[in-house]
Chains A and B, each alone.
Chain A
Amino acid sequence: DAGVIQSPRHEVTEMGQEVTLRCKPISGHNSLFWYRQTMMRGLELLIYFNNNVPIDDSGMPEDRFSAKMPNASFSTLKIQPSEPRDSAVYFCASSAGQGNGYTFGSGTRLTVV
Chain B
Amino acid sequence: AQSVTQLGSHVSVSEGALVLLRCNYSSSVPPYLFWYVQYPNQGLQLLLKYTTGATLVKGINGFEAEFKKSETSFHLTKPSAHMSDAAEYFCAVWAETGRRALTFGSGTRLQVQP
Contact = CB atoms under 8 A, between A and B. Distances in A.
A45 B101 contact: yes
* Of A55, A102, A103, A106, most B-chain CB atoms within 10 Å: A102
A98 B94 contact: yes
Contact of B43 (A45, A55, A58, A104): A104
B34 A101 contact: yes
Category for how many chain A residues contact B = 20 to 34
Contact of B102 (A4, A58, A102, A107): A102
Interface residues of B, number: 22
A58 B101 CA distance: 12
Interface stretch (B11-19, B21-29, B45-53, B69-77): B45-53
Contacts of A33: 101-102
A102 to B, nearest CB: 6
Interface in B68-113: 90, 94, 99-107
B32 to A, nearest CB: 6
Interface of B: 32, 34, 36, 41-46, 49, 51, 90, 94, 99-107
Given A42-B105, A107-B42, 9 more contacts: A4-B43, A45-B103, A98-B102, A99-B32, A100-B49, A101-B46, A106-B41, A106-B42, A106-B43
